[in-house]
Amino acid sequence: MKRSVTLTTVLAALTLSTLHAAGDTPVDFVKQIKPILADRCVECHNSETLLGELNLQTRALAFGKRKAGPVIVPKNAEKSMLYLVLSLPPKDEKAMPATGHRIPKDEVGTIRQWIEEGAIWPEGKDGAITPKHKKS
């Protein structure tokens, strides 16, 4: 009896630590997602260049309807083009970003978690993204 209580206690502790490690703290768009998009995506996907019919400068534009399908499907990273193109092998012609350095895997994981959590993206100033670097 004592052994089963101990085993149950250990299993419960492992489960709780796994849940905590998996990220029970929600992803913060302004602190975690916005900087990635500003640095790596909005340079090409903005109102001026509009590559791939995609503008990631505001929530409304990022979630807008496109012929190519949805870019972000809240709570479903596997159907979200944003996550899928970032996850492709670098040599794949659809992999993003198309030029420059790849987004580190931990940041791609953060984007995945953010999408799975519902892709919360504030409206207004906090949700607006401007390119860090202008293409010349």
pTM above 0.85, yes or no: no
| Residue of higher predicted confidence among 75 and 9 | 75
Tens-place pLDDT, residues 83-120: 999 999 989 999 999 888 899 999 999 999 999 999 99
Asked if 99 and 49 count as a contact pair (C-beta separation under 8 A), the reply is: no
CA 101 to chain centre: 17
Nearest to 51 by CA among 8, 98, 9: 98
- What's residue 67's pLDDT? 86
- Please enumerate, as own/partner, the contacts of 90-99 that have beta carbons within 8 Å and a separation of 24 or more: 96/41, 97/40, 97/41, 97/44, 98/44
The backbone torsions φ and ψ at residue 36, rounded to the nearest 5 degrees and listed phi first, read -65, -50
| Residue of higher predicted confidence among 46 and 19 | 46
User: 23 falls in which pLDDT band (50, 70, 90)?
Assistant: low
Tens-place pLDDT, residues 47-57: 998 898 899 99
